Amino acid sequence: MKKIENIGGYLEIDKDGFIIKSATQEKFQKKWKPVIEEIKQAYIEHFGGDLHSVYIRGSVAKGEAVDNLSDVDTIAIVNLPKDKIDLKWSEKFSTKIDSKYPFVNGVEIVAGTPEDAVSKNRGVHIMLKTQAVCIYGDDISEKIGPLKPGKESAQHFRGIQNELLDTVDFFENGWAENNEEREERCSWIMKRILRTGFELVMEREQKYTRDLYPSYVSFAKHYPSKKYDMYEALELAMNPIHDSRVLVPFLRLWIGWLPGEIERVFNFK
């Protein structure tokens, strides 16, 4: 069982109130560099001349990766129509990386179009501007304007209601093939809850983070009556379970509260 620790932090904010990206290639930890190189080469191999650029984001990009805890979050921008972007190879590749580098807790392989990258409706531009390092190609984030903490830099709140409903359906109707898949879904949705919770208070805090523990701390400060529920989400993100009898009531608790609070804070439905 993974211990809940005060890991992570907030990005700096400049004198004009804009978020400063802390991720750079210089911060890549030596141990993780071969993993990053293999990921880059895999994207090059599979997309060839259609590959526009490749990015590393998250804790690895900030030089804060923790063995057996951190995964490698990546995204590629590809000069292809969305329906022509093939990622069938990614599962086999991720399994290979997990086997070759046991300290890596998974690899996220994602690809989108240049239009996705700069559109303010998809949230990709937020990831690229605030937390991603370009390791191949032309850095498209240079075409994206600066962001301040608040609605313009929030991306999870728009989809969380459907994600919660879909996850309840996932557990109630037994869509998973095994317990490992159920636990992966548990961890994923809990991270979404934590990051959405932080987005509710981001403008008030004038801070920005995607890290889980700071997200919990900021949320708990403004919603003390919900802090124990959010701490449970943090525990389940770190130590996921597969028991639908526990998870479904907990998810329904958030379904009953989170959408209404999102509407109140963001004036958004």
Does position 175 have pLDDT exceeding 90, yes or no?
Answer: no
pLDDT at 269 over 60: no
Residue 122 near residue 73 (C-beta atoms within 8 A): no
Domain ranges of the chain: 25-143, 151-266
**How would you classify the pairing of strands 111-112 and 72-78?**
parallel
Asked if the domains at 25-143 and 151-266 fall in one CATH topology, the answer is no
Note the pLDDT tens digit of each residue in 11-23: 999 999 999 999 9
Task: From the options 3.30.460.10, 1.10.3720.10, 3.40.50.1980, 3.40.47.40, give the CATH code of 25-143.
Answer: 3.30.460.10
C-alpha 251/C-alpha 165 separation (Å) is 8
- Average pLDDT of the chain is 94
Task: State residue 78's pLDDT score.
Answer: 97
pLDDT, tens only, 206-223: 999 999 999 999 999 999
Does the domain at residues 151-266 carry the CATH identifier 1.10.10?
Answer: no
> Which pLDDT score is estimated for 268?
58
Cα pseudo-dihedral 188, 260, 126, 184, rounded to 10: 0
Average pLDDT of span 173-196: 92
Task: Provide the pLDDT for residue 121.
Answer: 67
pLDDT at 21 (0 to 100): 93
Kindly tell me if the per-residue pLDDT of 138 is higher than 90: yes
Element (H, E) at 132: strand 132-137
The pLDDT value given to residue 119: 84
Confidence of residue 146 (pLDDT cuts 50, 70, 90): very high
pLDDT tens column, 19-63: 999 999 999 999 999 999 999 999 999 999 999 999 999 899 999
